[in-house]
Structures are given as C-alpha cells and as structure tokens.
Structure 1
Amino acid sequence: MPTAFPSPVPTIPTTPLTAQLRDAMRAIVGEKGFIEDEHGMQPFITDWRGLLFGRAGAVVRPGSTEEVSKVVRLCHEHGVAIVPQGGNTGLMGGATPWPAHTGIVLSLGRMNRVLDVDPVGYAMTVEAGCVLETLQETASRHDRFLPLSLGAQGSCMIGGNLSTNAGGVQVLRYGNARNLVLGLEVVLPNGDVWNGLRALKKDNTGYDLKHLFMGAEGTLGIITKAVLKLWPAPKDVCTAWLAVRDPRAALEILSEAHAASEDNVGSCELLSRAAVDLVMRHIPGVQDPLKADTPWYLLLEWSSSRPRQDGADGMSEKLEAFLADQFEAGRVLDAVIAQTVSQSRNMWRIREAMAEAARAEGPGISYDVSVAISRIPEFIDKGLKAVLDILPSIRPYPLGHIGDGNLHFSFMGPIGMDQQTLNQYTAAITRAVNDLITSMGGSISAEHGIGIEKLDELSHYRSKTELDIMRTIKRALDPQNIMNPGKVLRV
C-alpha cells in the first residue's frame, strides 16, 4: 500500500503548463525528449520503492547543458516548478514530485557521455546522466578506480549520487560522494550556467561553490557535469565473511584491522542474521557463505593497489593471519575467506541486495542514521529496546557501514501486518529512534538524504540557526521556489 505523503503538504508553485509552454519545451528538447502521456510519465513520477506516487505536467529529457539551461530559463520566466531526476533510485522521495505538482520532471538520463578520462591526472569528466556502474567500468578500462559503490549502481546516475551526497560501501576509505569530486557544472534556478569544471585539487579562491550543490538534492540547481577523482585500480583484493561475537567485537576487529592491513581496509559491513536470512529468502542464486547460527556477521575487505609479489604475503595471507588472532581473542567465531571472484561477488551480492529483499518481504520501516563509531553497539542495544517496547512483534534486521558509523536500522512489520496497520506505529517508532540518535550526538540521515520522507524530521532536529541559514541560501538562489520545491526544507 502506498505511503502517505507527509502532512501538512508544503506550499509549492502550481503554475500549470500551457499549450504554448509545452510547444516551447518540445522545440528545445525535440519529440524524443518530451513526454506528456500518463503511461510514459509513470516511471518518472513513481519512486523506486513503489510507495510514493506524484504528478507532473510533463517529463522533459534534455540532451545537453544548453537544453537544460533553456528549459530551466523558460520555467523561471513563467514560475513553473521543476523536479530534477537522475536514475530515480532514491529512498527518501527526493526525486518524486508531489501529487500537487503541475510543473515538469527534468530527467538527465539522455546526458550520459563520458567527456574525458585523464589517467595521468587521476580524473574523469562526465555528464550527470551517466550510470554509476558505467563510470566504474570506464575507470577500470584505464587501470583506475572510482570508489563510489552502492547497491543501485547498475541504474543510479552520477548526478543524483552527487545531489544526494551518496555514501556506499567504500566511504570508510574514500569518503562520501562529495569527497570524490573536483569540479561541477550546474544550471541555476534562473537558467544561468555555473561552469566550475576545474580539475584542481587546490583552489582557494573564495567560497567552494560545488559543495553547495552536493547534498542539496536538486533544490539549489541541477548538476549537469562533474569532474570526478580517480584512484589506482586495486590489484590485490581479499574479501572475508566473519561470524562475530557481537557489534562490540566487530568494532574491535575493525580497529585492529587498520594497522594489520597496513591501512588497506576498503570496506567493513555489519550484518545481522535476520538481514542475511531476508536475502536468502528472496534473492535467487545467492549462497550463505557460512550457514553459521550466529546473530552477527562482518563483511570485511582489504585491498591494495600493489600487485601481489611472488614469495611475499599478499592481502589474503595477511588477513588469514589477522583472523587467527581474532579467533584467539574470541571476537571471531567462524570465518571464510573468498578464494575466487565469484565467492567474493556472492558475499557482496548479499550485502547489496538488502533493499531489494526487504521490498519483496513486505511492509517495513528503515532508518538511515549515523553515530560516533564507538557508540554503535550502545545505539543498537538501546534502539532495539525502544522499538520493541512500542511494537514487540516487529522484526529487526539491522545492518550497515559500521566502519563509518552509518547504520541502517531496519525493521520488517510483524508477520501478517499490512502497511496501513504498521503506519499506526511509525510515528512513535520514528520519534523514539530519532530522539535516541540525537541524544547520542548522531544524525537522522547518514547517506540517504531528506527528500520528502524526512522533511519534518529535519525541521524538528536541526537548530533554528541552521534552518535559517539553509533557507537564506535557498531563497537567494531560488527566490521563486521552483527548484524541487517541497523537498529538504519547508520554505
């Protein structure tokens, strides 16, 4: 059953598309770039989860920055609202128009060219509609590595990744999406183009404008191109699946792994047994790496850009020796090291398929939170108690990027409970989880953003000063509130 949009509904511009505006937009983007029939628009006005269903006067798909600029300028002149959209894989409704939306969805999917790869300078210039996995493969063909990696990488687009400051499984080592960018090109809400496509690691000339647009979820402008940082391609990679004593043991393992790997820990993912079982039930072709009856697991990967040398210990030998010490310390209860690429991929498939499996399982609630790494075990204990006190039959399946303090604190509804009934408990559970995370100095959104789903939560937990600053920036760049209105902030 669809999730209701938050109430009260924010005020958004509702200027309709006239016949003249439709003709003008069609003239800019061509027939193949203009969609106005209900069936054709459906994928663009429905969120990936199938929970939110919005409306639009048309879907516009420009093929160049120049076309984006012309369309946005036209909308600015007539007060028409714009919802920018990439791969439409977000989990907070940030790319989904409100039901009252009468303007356009502006999809960047046709702008999908890799413009330049500079392997010597470790940089790549791309258009916003490039699919993330395509960029990973392009970097690999040049013996380089783009570390942004997440479950939706086969369909999400880099413009959306940057607009939401996406995280993923490599943040521990390389940082969020904003840390992977050297320069941006952005179309502003009035149609002007800011060209910041500079491949500079140092540029200390006033405000760093690119950081305004990364994480702003399309509310300040539309990212059309980016200069991305690249790294040396990994040459020696070792992936292990560990059954661990508890989350505290997982943190101790990670803490000691940094030195033992010579700072080569690439990823460290915590998974509950319930989360693993969820994938086993719904995702065909995956295999349980251990089949151990233990409540907690760790997916640990070490990688080095140095090729393994004959006669010298590589990542596999170093990790094996490290795990022997962790067995002796009582932190690791069982473990398997991937011996083939397919075994490693199977381990990662389990982690990456969580959202897909949860959607297949049925109604649920998930919180994307972060807290200081050392406090993750405390949050898990207190958070589970708080939620189970409200709904004892709810089914927890926590997991997350424990290496960077980001936990996906997730729950499936009780067996047999429909979404409408579960929704009756959601407000109380949300308040309990978010109050707890805030009391521990954490964040109510670690990597998924605010969008529609956390619109009121942001207002509740951020200070007046912070909200005032954000609104000042929004009004300065978008005084008509036409750029993704009703997202992130109530203006």
Structure 2
Amino acid sequence: MTTVIDASLNEFVDACRRTIGAQYVSTDSQQNAAYLTDWRRRFTGAACAVMKPGSTEEVAAIVRLCNQFKVPVVPQGGNTGLVLGSIPDASGSAVVLSLTRLNKIRSVDPVNNTMTVESGCILQDIQQAAAAADRLFPLSLASEGSCTIGGNLSANAGGTAVLRYGNARELCLGLEVVTPQGDVWNGLRGLRKDNTGYDLRDLYIGAEGTLGIITGAVLKLFPQPKAGRTAMLALRSADDALRLLTLAQGKCHATLTGFELMSEYCLTLVTKHFPQIRMPFKEAHAQYVLLELSDSESEEHANMLLENLVGDALQQDIVQDAIVATSITQSKALWLVREHIPTAQAAEGKNIKHDIALPVSVIGDFIRHTDQLIQKTFAGARMVTFGHLGDGNLHYNIAHPEHQTEDSFLMQQASINRIVHDSVHSFGGSISAEHGIGVLKREEILRYKSEIEMNLMRTIKYALDPLNLMNPGKVI
C-alpha cells in the first residue's frame, strides 16, 4: 500500500491550526524532536507537524482533514514503545497526533468495578484514581509513570500481573475510537456480556493505531487486596522454576499474582550499575524467581500460603534458597531488583532484544536449546534472560561478548534474530508478546505467519483504512 500526497501540506497545517488552535500545532523541529525520536534513541523520523488535540471531537476533525488532504497520521501516547510503532518515517509527509491532552478520567463506577478514561491518561494516574476509590487497576509496567493507556491498549500491553489479571485486552470492556474516515465509534459500554455482533473492541486493541485511533476506554477494576506478600527464590535452572510455578499454582491458586524469572547475569548487571541495590543472596544461583501473592482474605492467610509454599519448595529440593519479605520496604527492595534490569542492561551497553512468548511448559527447553545455538555461533555472548514466566513471556536479550565491540556485535543482529525467532517458532511461540510489531518486526512476521493469516489482516486493513492513512508502514 502506498500513500499519495496530493495537496499542499501548508494548507493542511493551516486548516488544523484553525481547527484545534495554533498553539497546539507545532512545525518547529526543536519542539518536535521528542515526538520524532523513539524511546531507545535508535531512529528519528520526520513529520509535517505535531498536533495535540484536546478532545475526541478535535481528533476526529483532524482525521477528517487528513482524509481531505491525504495526509498520513501517526497516533502517539507516551512514546515509550520499543518497536518504532509511534514514530513517523523519514519522509516528513505524516502528522504526529499526540494524545496526551486527552487525559481526563471521565468516571469511576465502584459498584460496576469500572473506570472510563481518555486515552492520554498516564497509567500511573489511572492506578492512583482506582486506589482512591478503594479499587485496583492491575496493569503494571516499568514505564507506568509515562506511558498512556491508549498506547497500552494499542500494543495490548502485558506487565507483571498478567498471570492473575490478564493483559490489556482482558482489562478493557469498551472503547471509543475515531475511525480512519473521522467518524467516532462510541463503544464505551461497561458490560461483561454483550453478544451483539462482531467484537470491534478486540479488533482495535493490539492494532497499534493502524485501524483507528483509540480516544477512550472503559477499564475493569478489582477490589483492593487485603494483603500482598513477596518472596525471591533461588533455583538451579529454568526447569526448576517451572516446577515451582506448578507448585505455586496448586497451593496458592488465584492469589498468585506475579511470577518473574531472572537469570543470574541479570542480577549481576543490576548490582554492578546500581551498587545501592545489594545482591539478595550471599551466593550466586543460575536462576531466580520473584513471586508475588495478592490475598483477598487477610494477612494471616497470605502468610500461611507463602510459608507453606516456600517450605514445600525447599523440602522438595525445587528451591535452593529463599528470601521472604516481611515488610512493604523489603518487598519494594526485592521488586527494585527486577525493575532495574532494563536500565542496568542499557547502562552496560547496546544489546539485541527479543520480546517472545512460548507455551509455559517448553520455556526450560527453549532457553537451554537457544542458548546453545547462540553460543555455538557467537561464543561469549552474554544472555540477559528475564520476564513473566507465569504467562510465558520472556525478554530474551543478548549482550555482546566482552572481547567484541558493541557495534561489531550489532552488525550481526539479523543473524541473531534469525536464530532466536526460528527457535521460538519451532517451539510453537510468538516473536512478539507485549511490545507489538511496529516497524522493527513488520518483515519478520512474514516468515512465521501463514499467507492466509497475513491476507486476512490485509483485508481488514484495506476495508477499514482504504487510503492507508492510519499509521502507515506499521504491522503490515
């Protein structure tokens, strides 16, 4: 699909200024720089303007102008994505539509356990608004202080609590969307059952802005847990982590909220670059699990569940050592280790990232098999493996060998991606779990999705966005 620009961009920009106010339309390169460069600073695109509408109606008005002038539009939230999904290409023909002014929490319904929000709301603000109503919105990400709920939904974000609460798709009941033609679909229904036709909500969630622009959402809320308990456990292997997961699910049931796997090298990086964070254990172990329980009964019940779990895991020789947090401060200290892995990895230098999903049962075999393949071809490569083991999502990242420069190692990225992605496919997995496709994996998915599946996706795209104005060049 190609987009033909057949009208004056200056005329288009002037029309947008009249529509939403000149102060919200910027063509200044310095002011726009933050909107044109991705979070990891790997790529800088160009745009004819960056626009900040203040309402759904203004978003729709701009999209109608984009249709009139055949101008592509790139929706953007907090710009925290990792696959270039919210960055325009280098042509300068597109407009970046920043949705950060759509930041109102429209309503909270504690009886229905729902909250209606605009898409530019910061995730952390939504969490806090839920807490103020004695409710929980469980989506939790490292970027929650800056990412927006619209971006979370567009990428179907996961996070650390998917095991219990599901990803962004499971946490959303309804949407408000501006279509590629500039119409507004109001699907803001707080219903858990609505079997009246095609599920349009799920069509837009995870579409990365290629089918329409999410401007509002009805989110699921949950009762606040009565107690939370955290433990970090040391293990010999990822296989033992899977044994621990099975034991924890059997003993703790729905109270098991988080189950994070971290390799020994991950903790080494954290303590190296953040010396204020101490290694939790005196001795190093091959793998670690950070486990979180959220109990709806009482602190005593949560303590009993965790103590029984840890005791049984030690007795069955699944776990080699364990640290159980006895206070909120200790719990936060353990989570700091997990949360600092990405920043420690960045401090160590450039690396090759993979956001993958696998059937939980094969994760141990995948890590062992793929590590061997990588080491056979790239001896000394450092494996930074961590992620949400409970839902099968691994961040399988690879840092350059100490004897090799970063740049020379990064030149091998295509070969490394092929090893990893082919291995993921052979184990029945997906090359994107929660980061999306964007630009970086657009060509990769052609190797692993059938032509039938790709044609179905193209058919939907053509039907809804025949002019290819919605985030062109992303996903397909």
Q: TM-score, normalised by structure 1?
A: 0.94
Out of 441, 454, 462, which is 1:454 matched to? 441
2:330: which partner in 1? 343
Using the alignment, how far apart are the partners of 2:367 and 2:70 within structure 1?
46
Letter in 2 for 1:206: G
Using the alignment, how far apart are the partners of 1:455 and 1:84 within structure 2?
18
Distance 1:44 1:15, change over 3 A: farther
| Match status 1:124 vs 2:115 | yes
1:23: which partner in 2? 14
2:167: which partner in 1? 176
Out of 368, 372, 378, which is 1:391 matched to? 378
Following superposition, the deviation at residue 278 of structure 1 comes to 1.6
Any idea what the Cα deviations from partners look like across 1:425-477, whole Å, max 9, x if unmatched? 11111111111111111111111110011011111210000000000000111
Following superposition, the deviation at residue 222 of structure 1 comes to 0.4
Percent pairwise identity:
46
Following superposition, the deviation at residue 13 of structure 1 comes to 4.8
Following superposition, the deviation at residue 113 of structure 1 comes to 0.6
Any idea what the Cα deviations from partners look like across 1:343-390, whole Å, max 9, x if unmatched? 211222221222222222111001111111010000000111111122
Name the SS for the 1:398 alignment partner: strand
The runs of 5 or more residues in structure 1 that have no matched partner are 1-9
Aligned residues: 476
Letter in 1 for 2:64: R
Segment drifting more, 316-325 vs 15-24? 15-24
Name the SS for the 1:147 alignment partner: coil
| Match status 1:482 vs 2:469 | yes
1:432: which partner in 2? 419
Name the SS for the 2:353 alignment partner: strand
| Match status 1:370 vs 2:357 | yes
Using the alignment, how far apart are the partners of 1:254 and 1:377 within structure 2?
12
| Contact 1:49 1:359 (C-alpha < 8 Å) held by counterparts | no
Distance 1:75 1:418, change over 3 A: farther
| Contact 1:390 1:425 (C-alpha < 8 Å) held by counterparts | no
Following superposition, the deviation at residue 259 of structure 1 comes to 2.5
1:147: which partner in 2? 138
Distance 1:291 1:486, change over 3 A: farther
Distance 1:16 1:237, change over 3 A: farther
Any idea what the Cα deviations from partners look like across 1:165-189, whole Å, max 9, x if unmatched? 0011111111110000110000011
2:368: which partner in 1? 381
Following superposition, the deviation at residue 59 of structure 1 comes to 0.5
Distance 1:280 1:13, change over 3 A: farther
1:277: which partner in 2? 268
| Contact 1:452 1:486 (C-alpha < 8 Å) held by counterparts | yes
Name the SS for the 2:421 alignment partner: helix
| Contact 1:15 1:103 (C-alpha < 8 Å) held by counterparts | no
Name the SS for the 1:455 alignment partner: coil
Using the alignment, how far apart are the partners of 1:298 and 1:32 within structure 2?
49
Name the SS for the 1:203 alignment partner: coil
Distance 1:169 1:381, change over 3 A: same
| Contact 1:363 1:418 (C-alpha < 8 Å) held by counterparts | no
Segment drifting more, 406-415 vs 80-89? 406-415
Using the alignment, how far apart are the partners of 2:400 and 2:143 within structure 1?
24
Equivalent runs, 1:26-175 vs 2, <5 Å: 26-175=17-166
2:202: which partner in 1? 211
| Contact 1:182 1:198 (C-alpha < 8 Å) held by counterparts | yes
Distance 1:336 1:189, change over 3 A: same
1:192: which partner in 2? 183
Using the alignment, how far apart are the partners of 1:17 and 1:300 within structure 2?
57
Name the SS for the 2:203 alignment partner: helix
| Contact 2:5 2:69 (C-alpha < 8 Å) held by counterparts | no
Equivalent runs, 1:197-276 vs 2, <5 Å: 197-276=188-267
Equivalent runs, 1:279-298 vs 2, <5 Å: 279-283=270-274, 285-298=276-289
| Contact 2:350 2:399 (C-alpha < 8 Å) held by counterparts | yes
Name the SS for the 1:32 alignment partner: helix
Using the alignment, how far apart are the partners of 2:130 and 2:8 within structure 1?
41
Using the alignment, how far apart are the partners of 1:477 and 1:422 within structure 2?
41
Using the alignment, how far apart are the partners of 1:285 and 1:193 within structure 2?
50
| Match status 1:352 vs 2:339 | yes
Distance 1:412 1:203, change over 3 A: same
Using the alignment, how far apart are the partners of 2:34 and 2:55 within structure 1?
22
Segment drifting more, 377-386 vs 317-326? 317-326
Following superposition, the deviation at residue 292 of structure 1 comes to 2.8
Using the alignment, how far apart are the partners of 2:26 and 2:77 within structure 1?
16
Distance 1:434 1:13, change over 3 A: farther
The runs of 5 or more residues in structure 2 that have no matched partner are none
| Match status 1:334 vs 2:321 | yes
Using the alignment, how far apart are the partners of 2:317 and 2:447 within structure 1?
42
Segment drifting more, 448-457 vs 335-344? 335-344
Letter in 1 for 2:352: I
Following superposition, the deviation at residue 393 of structure 1 comes to 2.1
Using the alignment, how far apart are the partners of 2:59 and 2:253 within structure 1?
46
Q: TM-score, normalised by structure 2?
A: 0.97
Following superposition, the deviation at residue 288 of structure 1 comes to 2.5
